[in-house]
Amino acid sequence: MSEWTQLWLNYERVRNDIKSVNITFSGFSEDNRVVGSMIDELRRGMYGLLGAEVSFGENGAGSSDTLKIEIKKNVAVKAEGYRISCKNSTVSVEAGDENGALYGTYHLLRLVNFGKLSDGCEVNSSPDNPLRMMNHWDNMDGSIERGYSGRSFFYVNNEIVVDDRTRDYARFMASIGINGVVINNVNVKDAASYLITDRYFGRLKELSDVFGDYGIKMYLSLNFASPIELGGMDNCDPLNEEVIKWWDDKCKEVFEALPNLGGFLVKADSEGRPGPFTYGRTQADGANMLADAVKPYGKLIIWRCFVYNCTQDWRDTKTDRARAGYDYFKDLDGKYKDNVILQIKNGPMDFQIREPVSPLLGGLTKTNQMLEVQIAQEYTGQQIDLCYLIPLFREVLDFKTYCQKEKDTVADVISGRAFGNKNCGIAAVINTGNDKNWTGNDMAAANLYGFGRLAYDMSLSAEEIAREWVSQTFRIDKNDEDLIVDMLLRSREIYEKYTCPLGIGWMVTPNTHYGPSVDGYEYSRWGTYHRADHLGLGVDRSSNGTGYAQQYYPENAEKFNDPDKCPQELLLFFHHISYDHRLKDGRTLIQYIYDTHFDGEAEAEKIAENWNILEGKIPEESFLRVKNRFERQIYNAKEWRDQVNSYFYRKSGIKDEKGRKIYE
C-alpha cells in the first residue's frame, strides 16, 4: 500500500469468473512509451478487478475463462479517440494513435468495473476538446496558491520532485483524458522564474518524460518580465528588438532541452503581474511576440484574459471590473497569431458560485479560445464544504452565446466546432496537493474526476459523471450510491443558498476567501462591492448602469438588461433591486434572502446527517475525513446564514415573515 490513495483507480475485485486475460497488439509497438504505460495499467487493472493474470501476444485458442483483448491501430478513428466492441468474449479496442489506445484501455477498465463489459457492447468515443488541461497553482517553495489539500507534490524547497507519486498523478490524469498540465502557478515569482534556465532543465526533463509516458504534455507558466529578471535588461517591451531577440534565444534553449514541453501559459497585466500595458502595448502585442518565439518549435502561447485593474475607482457608475476582459480583448479579435490561445475564465469576475458566462466566450469569433474553470474550491467552500461543480460547468458549456445561428454554445466555441479552430479546449485550476487522499476532502475528488471526463466528453451529464465516480471510488450498494450521488448533485445549490444570493458574489473574508464577510471585498476602498443600501442591493450592470449587459449578443443583452427577463439566479449581478421587490414566486427579495439562508443551512445539516448512513460501508479513514469536513461545513453555513441575514435585516429594517431568529 502506498502512502496515498488510488482515487478512482482502486481496482477492487468485481468478478471471479475470468482467470486470465490475453492481450494482443496490432499496429502499435510495445516499445512505445504510451503503449508501455497501457500494458502496466492493464496488468494492474485486470489483476485488481478480476484477479486475472495478464499475458501478452498470441497464445493459442485460450479457454472459456480467458478474456481476449485485441488492441488495434485503425487510422479511421479520430485523434485520441477509441472504439471498443465485444464479440464472442473477445474485446477489440481500436484507436488511431497511442493516446486513443490508452484512453480506450481506461474506458475498458471502467466497463469491467461497472459490470458493463458483455458481448454486443459498443463504445465509440473521441475527445470533444483538443486541449484538456490542468493548471497547477503550485509554488516552488511547496506552497499552493488556493491549495486546500496540503503542499505541492511537484516541489519541495525549490526543487522539483519526480517520484512514484508523480507517476500515479500522471496515471490519474490520463485515465480521465487530460493531455496537458501546467506545473507552476500563473503568478510566476521567485524560484519559478528560473524554470526556464538550465538550473531546472534536468528535472523538468524527467518530469516531462513521466508525463510523456501517459500522453501528457507539460507546460510552464511564464514571467513576462523574464528579460528583466533573468536577462538583466531594463525593460520587457514586446516590440523592443532586443527583447524579441532575448525571447528567441531563450525559446531555442528551452525547447532544445525540453522537447515535450507544449508551450507557455501567461498571466500578464493583472494583480501586479508585469505585462505589455506598461509599455503602452496591447495584449495582442505581448502574446504575439511570444508566439513568434515559440513558433519554430510548434509550441503554443496560452494567454489569460483575466486582466483587470484591481485599483480602479468604481464610484463612477460606468466603471466595472466585470467589463474588463471584454474591453481589453474584444477589439483585438483576429489579431492574434494562430498559436496563441486566449484562456477565458468562465465568468467575467472570478470563479464565484454564480456568475453569468463571460461575454468573451463566443464574443471573440476569430481568435482561438479556451475555457478556464476552477476545481480548486477557492470561493466554493475550499474543499471543506461539499460543492460538486460539474452542474456549474455544464451550465457554462450549454450557454447559448448567439455568436452564430447554430453551433453557438460555449461547448461549440471551445471545442472548435463553432469556428473550426484546432488550438482550443478547456483548462481547470486543479484541486490537488500532497494530502493522502489528494484532494483534502475525499468528495472533492468528484470534481477532479468529473472535470476530466467532461473535458473529454461534453455530452456527459453531471449525474452520469457523479455515478461513474462513486461506483469506482466506493464499493457500496445501489442505495448508498444513490445517496452519495444525490448529495453531490444538490451540493452546489445548497452552498449557493447559504452564501451570496442571486449572483451577487463575494461577501467572503478578504484574501482567504473562506467564511462570510458581507462587506469584505479586498479591493473595496471605493465602497462595498455589492452596493447594498437601506433600500436594496445589487449592481446595476444594465444600459443605465455600467453597461456590462451590452457586451453580450443582442438576444442575451436584452434578457440581462431587463430585470423582468433576467434569469432570477443572476438578478443581483445585473440589477440593483429593492428589498420589497416581488420575485416570480411572489416572495419579496428580502424574504427570499432570509428563506434561502435558513434553508441552505438546514439542507447542509441534512446531507451531513446522511453521510452517517455510510459509516462502516466505506473505508473508515475516508468516512471520518468527510464527516469532519461536514462538521466544519455546518459551522460555516451557520456563520453565513447569521451574518447575511443580520446584515440585511439591519440594512432594510424588514423582519422575517416567518419570525425565525435573526441576530440584531
Residue 287: other Cβ atoms inside 10 A: 29
- Choose, by CB under 6 A, the member of 213, 350, 355, 435 that binds ligand GCU: 350
Nearer to ligand GCU, 154 or 255 (CB): 154
d(CA 446, CA 24): 33
Q: Where are the beta strands (DSSP E) in 259-367?
A: 261-266, 300-304, 340-345
Residue 272: which of 215, 298, 310 has the closest Cα?
A: 310
**Which amino acid is present at 233?**
M
The verdict on 98 binding ligand GCU (CB under 6 A) reads: no
Name the catalytic one among 128, 168, 350, 412. 350
Question: Between residues 187 and 550, which has the closer beta carbon with respect to ligand GCU?
Answer: 187
What residue has cell string 450498494?
477
- Integer-rounded Cα Rg, in Å, for the chain is 26
CB of 204 to ligand GCU, least distance (A): 22
For 533, the grid coordinates are 443600501
In the beta sheet, which residues pair with residue 588?
582
Catalytic residue among 269, 378, 385, 601: 378
CB of 250 to ligand GCU, least distance (A): 23
Residue 271 is among the residues annotated as catalytic for this protein: yes
Q: How far is the CB of 306 from ligand GCU (least distance, A)?
A: 5
- For the bound state, the minimum distance from the C-beta of residue 271 to ligand GCU, rounded and expressed in Å, comes to 6
17-76 residues near ligand GCU, rule: CB under 6 A: none
Q: Does 186 bind ligand GCU (CB under 6 A)?
A: yes
CB 511, min distance to ligand GCU, A: 8
Q: Which is nearer to ligand GCU, 186 or 251 (CB)?
A: 186
Q: Please say which residue, 143 or 317, places its beta carbon nearer to ligand GCU.
A: 143
φ, ψ dihedrals at 71, nearest 5°: -110, 115
Nearer to ligand GCU, 306 or 328 (CB): 306
**438-477: which residues touch ligand GCU (CB under 6 A)?**
none
Residue whose C-alpha is closest to residue 580's, from 539, 532, 541, 536: 536
At residue 359, what is the residue type?
Answer: P
The closest alpha carbon to 380, from 28, 636, 623, belongs to 636
Give the residue with the Cβ less far from ligand GCU, 186 or 607.
Answer: 186
Long-range CB contacts (within 8 A, 24+) of 619-624: 621/436, 622/437, 622/442, 622/474
Name the minimum Å distance from CB 249 to ligand GCU: 28
Q: Which residue, 10 or 143, has its beta carbon nearer to ligand GCU?
A: 143
Within 10 Å of residue 17's Cβ, how many Cβ atoms?
10
Binding residue (CB under 6 A) for ligand GCU from 187, 319, 365, 643: 187
Rounded-to-integer distance, Cα 575 and Cα 577, Å: 6
Minimum gap (Å) between residue 137 Cβ and ligand GCU:
7
Nearer to ligand GCU, 136 or 171 (CB): 136
The cell for 174 is 490520463
Q: What are phi and psi of 22, to 5 degrees?
A: -115, 130
Q: Which of 267, 299, 323, 541 binds ligand GCU (CB under 6 A)?
A: 267
Instruction: Please report, as residue ranges, which positions from 363 to 382 form the binding site for ligand GCU (by CB under 6 A).
Output: 378
Task: Say how far apart CA 55 and CA 43 lie, in whole Å.
Answer: 8
146 binds ligand GCU (CB under 6 A): yes
80 binds ligand GCU (CB under 6 A): no
Kind and range of the H or E run holding 221: strand 217-222
Query: Closest approach of Cβ 528 to ligand GCU, in Å?
Result: 18
All residues at 6 or more sequence positions from 9 whose CB lies less than 8 Å from its CB, including other chains? 45, 171, 172, 175, 472
User: Shortest CA distance to 463 belongs to which of 454, 455, 475, 476?
Assistant: 454
Smallest distance from ligand GCU to CB 362, Å:
21
Half-sphere exposure of 657 (CA within 13 A, CB side): 9
Judged by CB under 6 A, the number of residues near ligand GCU is 9
For 272, the grid coordinates are: 501586479
Q: Does 522 bind ligand GCU (CB under 6 A)?
A: no
Other Cβ atoms within 10 Å of 272 Cβ, number: 9
Please identify which residue in 169, 306, 552, 648 interacts with ligand GCU, judged by CB under 6 A: 306
Q: Tell whether residue 145 is a contact of ligand GCU (CB under 6 A).
A: yes
Name the active-site residue from 12, 53, 234, 271.
271
Question: Is the backbone of residue 63 left (phi > 0), alpha (psi -120 to 50) or beta?
Answer: beta
Residue number, 168 or 269, with CB nearest to ligand GCU: 269
DSSP 3-state assignment of 416? coil
Touching ligand GCU, residues 559-588 (CB under 6 A): none
Q: Cβ distance 211 to 170 under 8 Å? A: yes
Residue whose CB is less far from ligand GCU, 306 or 648: 306
Q: Is 271 left (phi over 0), alpha (psi -120 to 50) or beta?
A: left
Position 481 contacts ligand GCU (CB under 6 A):
no
Q: CB-based contacts of 39: which residues, under 8 Å, 6+ apart? A: 23, 30, 56
**Annotation marks residue 350 as catalytic:** yes
Least gap, CB of 358 to ligand GCU (angstroms)? 13
| Residues with a known catalytic role | 271, 350, 378
Residues of this chain that bind ligand GCU (CB under 6 A) = 145-146, 186-187, 267, 271, 306, 350, 378
